[in-house]
Amino acid sequence: MKKLFFSMLFFATLVINAQTGINYKVLIKDGGGTVLVSQSVTVQFSILEGAALTNVYQETHTTTTDANGFVILNIGEGTLMSGDYSQIAWGDDEHFLNVQINSGAGLTDMGTTQFMAVPYAKFAENSITKIDNLTDAKAETKSVFVGENSGNADDGNNQNTALGFDALKNNINGLQNVAIGESTLLGNISGDRNTVIGQSAMRRNTTGSNNTAVGEEALYNNTSGQGNIAIGQWAGRNENDDNKLYIDNSSTSDPLIWGDFTDGNEKVKINGNLEVSSTNTSSTPSLNLIHEGVTGARINFSNTDTTNDNLWTLYGDTNDIDANSIFNIFHSNTGNIVTVKGDGKVNVNGDLTVTNTTKIGTSGAAISEVIKLTGTTYRNAVGNVGSNNIPYPSGYNWENTYVVSFKVKQREGGLGGINKYTSLGNYNSGDDQSIYIDLRNDPTTNNTNYIQLNISDPQYEGAEYVLILMKID
């Protein structure tokens, strides 16, 4: 009798069914290698659990091979022999599949193979506690690792979450890290509470903790830095200090936004133009500076190319008493330039130059300029009355010029040996002891458009004078 005794040359394909079963495809041949075409066969599946190979489920399928010798079956949908397919605890232990085939001469054992993948859809219906393969996808009670080599050195109890090839690969006892992306936190060993998203972000970190890196290779070379935040491609790539902020799409050490979180040294630096735009029509400011203390708020202005590090400062200090509330314009080399107080008083420390007109009072005239002229009076022979002709300064004429003040110094020794300045007017009775000024304009006569100093006392000729003029246009 011709034996159909199989060494059963076959190959099988296992496909995880997205619903409830496992798809199984096998080519069946007899002992001589002949494909069994259109022949009735019985296939028995046994699912075994753990090292003891405990049979937890068994079923049979009676079917017919197709024109090419194949049968395609769905494990979990055959005739039940024992167990409950829906109750298999896929996540608790290793599982194995035993296959036996009967083509008419009884069951022939085709061997037992381990399931290298879990029927996840079926597993998800019955368990949410773990995925049982640490080097591929593992969800212990405290950690989750998904991806080849993800969490490879971790014991699964450090409350870490990693998704991606080599993510947290070398972590040993680092706690509560989140790593999403290829090679994120690859070198981490004991760093804790890092949140990392992006290919190779914080790749070389070993002990650094409390960092946040979002972007490809963000904080790439950080090994031990603590409390850093980097956002953007390559942001903070070479930073290994603590408590720094980087926002940029490059590895520059001068990113668009840089910051320092260090206590007592908190600051933010913007390497670019800052624009504050607001449509607010209420009293709420678009920019509000509040100093937490009693020394007021400051804004400094400086240039990097100065050698003496001088700077300008705007300083504001509010106070319950208006007179003590001040706003300063300050220069580091000269002190306060302008001080404005809350009671309305303004102090200018130095000369005040006004390029346009100035009014004093609500109905005052517009003053264009006030200037000071100095010189020496014309010296006549002693006993003669003299005069001095002074040209109008540029922009001045006899109509817009006003004399604010004038004084002339008595010649050395003076009357009775007394040195003194004398102002306009008669300083003694009689016209021979007077000083006065004419503002002249005579378009018909040459050389009469000038300011004339008239001095009737020879002791004031050849003496120093000071003339203050004001222009009102």
Residues 202 and 251 in one domain: yes
Look up the domain containing 220 and give its range.
130-272
Tell me the residue ranges of DSSP E strands in 308-400. 312-317, 326-331, 335-341, 346-348, 367-376, 386-390
Residues 21 and 116 in one domain: yes
Note the pLDDT tens digit of each residue in 353-365.
Answer: 777 788 877 788 8
Residue 127, pLDDT above cutoff 70: no
Is the four-CA dihedral 127, 128, 130, 131 of positive or negative sign?
positive
Residues 141 and 240 in one domain: yes
359 part of a folded domain: no
Residue 159: beta bridge partners? Answer: none
What pLDDT does residue 24 have? 86
Note the pLDDT tens digit of each residue in 225-262.
Answer: 999 999 999 999 999 999 999 999 999 999 999 999 99
Residue 453: beta bridge partners? Answer: 388, 437
Residues 103 and 144 in one domain: no
What pLDDT does residue 167 have? 96
Residue 336, pLDDT above cutoff 70: yes
Domain finish residue from 81, 97, 125: 125
Looking only at the bridges linking them, the beta strands covering 144-146 and 161-163 are parallel
What pLDDT does residue 422 have? 65
pLDDT interval class at 31 (50, 70, 90): confident
278 part of a folded domain: no
Mean pLDDT of the 367-392 span:
74
Mean pLDDT of the 292-300 span:
82
Domain finish residue from 72, 92, 125: 125
263 part of a folded domain: yes
Residues 227 and 319 in one domain: no
60 part of a folded domain: yes
288 part of a folded domain: no
Residues 387 and 445 in one domain: yes
Residue 11, pLDDT above cutoff 80: no
Residues 263 and 307 in one domain: no
CB 172 within 8 A of CB 156: no
Residue 381, pLDDT above cutoff 50: no
Q: Between these two residues, 176 and 424, which has the higher pLDDT value?
A: 176
Residues 305 and 344 in one domain: yes
Residue 129, pLDDT above cutoff 50: no
Residues 441 and 328 in one domain: no
216 part of a folded domain: yes
Residues 219 and 146 in one domain: yes
Residues 120 and 137 in one domain: no
CATH of the domain at 94: 2.60.40.10
394 part of a folded domain: yes
400 part of a folded domain: yes
Residues 75 and 101 in one domain: yes
Q: How many domains does the chain have?
A: 4
The top-scoring range by mean pLDDT among 245-259, 317-331, 359-373 is 245-259
What pLDDT does residue 103 have? 84
Domain finish residue from 125, 148, 181: 125
Coil, helix or strand for 183?
Answer: coil
